[in-house]
Amino acid sequence: MVSRSVLEQTGQLDQWGDYIPQPQSQDPSTANTAQQTCWLNQFSALKISGPDAERFLQGQLTCNMTDITTRSVFHGACCTAKGRIVANFNISFDGENYWLILPTLSAEVLEKHLQKYKVFFKTTLENCTQSHLILGQWNESEAGAAIHTKEYHQLSLSNNRSFLIVSDLSELEYTLSPSINWRLADINEGIYYVEGAQIEQWIPQHISWHNVNGISFNKGCYTGQEIIARLQYLGKAKKALQHYQGAINSKTIDGISESTNLTSEGLISAQQLFDEGGKNKAEVLIIRNHNSLESATASTEFGSESIIDILVVGQGENPPKILYLTETNEFPLTLQNLPYTDLKEV
């Protein structure tokens, strides 16, 4: 049985707020991702229904609601009149309800935002944070395909990763892995969901939402469309989503690990990346760190290596190959390729 209360009592949260199941039988960095299921404790679902739901959402979201069927999944976003993202999500339709999966904090913001516009529509919004759980599962699936049953709703993001929406107290059984593995996969695939301070900061193209078909440029009018379309057809985005990666080493002396000058608090609070001259070149969106495979499988007197993965919004054209986590050129980070970007030597 999958129960929120049991999961909370038997697991714990890491420094990022990601869920770690207990007991944990395997180090996250060495886990076989092809066989994993994670409880995405920082994600929730919004359920939107009613006779006017499609028409209402068509005027609010970047995706084309007429394209969404019971067998399909789309990326989408809801924006302000200035084209800034209130929330972005994955969306599907089960025949009666539209299901949106997004970070819990963003679900609360989006619900309040949409409530302001639905006065003249026969539409119901329900925040399912307490009634349903969001799982992330590596499985064989078709990208963009959906499966809706009485037990679960499966929204496939790629050919090997799917969201699962299950009710709290579901009878389905899962062996869970740390949810940081899912967040790392998002970073590697260039998928970012705005939350917290990032809400209403970015136009969809800034987080490369157009590269994952999260914007329809063929649908009718929706809030923010003028700004988004103008950037697509009449201009060029000066900012884009990028993935940077680096390593931090720690030494082990007399059995005690001495870390580098970068503390956990410093890593969590990082907001920018800098060039060699100490100039801010990118805004940090999400950071995760984890042990390298070598460090996870071998313990030596020379210490261990921790890998840092970061998604940022940086300059759109010719982004620097190397940026730094501090203004003093400490902790270099190297630009990585994303699935939808031109391949570069990294």
Number of other residues whose CB lies within 10 A of the CB of residue 137: 20
Nearest to 207 by CA among 289, 87, 101: 87
Q: Encode pLDDT of 215-272 as tens digits.
A: 999 998 999 999 999 998 887 788 999 999 999 876 543 443 444 556 667 777 889 9
Distance from C-alpha of 66 to C-alpha of 255, rounded to nearest angstrom: 61
- AA identity, residue 263: T
- Map tokens 């899912």 to a residue: 182
Q: What is the pLDDT of residue 263?
A: 65
pLDDT score of 100: 98
SS3 1: coil
DSSP three-state, residue 229: helix
Pairing of strands 74-79, 43-49: unpaired
Strand partners, 85: 79
| DSSP class of 177 | B
Taking only the tens place, the pLDDT of each residue in 113-138 is: 999 999 999 999 999 999 999 999 99
Mark the ranges of the chain whose per-residue pLDDT is less than 70.
1, 24-34, 250-264, 292-303, 342-346
State residue 256's pLDDT score: 39
Both tokens of residue 76?
A: 């989408």
- Cα distance between residue 192 and residue 147, in whole Å: 23
Number of C-beta neighbours around residue 343 at 10 A: 7
Pair of tokens at residue 241:
């989503």
| Structural contact between residues 74 and 90, judged by C-beta atoms closer than 8 angstroms | yes
Cα(268)–Cα(264) distance, integer angstroms: 6
Domains and CATH numbers, the chain: 4-189 (3.30.1360.120), 239-336 (no CATH)
Instruction: Please state the separation of Cα 115 from the chain's center in Å.
Output: 24
3 state SS of 112: helix
Tokens (6 digits) for 224: 């923010």
Any long-range contacts for 155-161 (C-beta under 8 Å, 24+ apart)? 155/73, 155/90, 155/92, 155/99, 155/101, 156/73, 157/73, 157/90, 157/191, 158/189, 160/34, 161/136, 161/137, 161/185
Torsion angle of alpha carbons 279, 281, 283, 285, nearest 10°? -130
pTM of the model: 0.90
Given the structure tokens 């076989």, which residue do they identify? 32
| Helix (H/G/I), strand (E/B), else coil: 201 | coil
Contact 63, 57 (CB under 8 A): no
Q: Which residues contact 236 (CB under 8 A, 6 or more apart)?
A: 316, 317
pLDDT computed for residue 235 by the predictor: 74
pLDDT of res. 33: 61
Q: Name every residue whose Cβ is closer than 8 Å to that of residue 4 and which is 6 or more positions away in sequence.
A: 130, 133, 168
Nearest residue to 281 via CA among 316, 248, 308, 235? 316
Smallest Cα–Cα separation from 46: which of 27, 34, 32, 60? 60
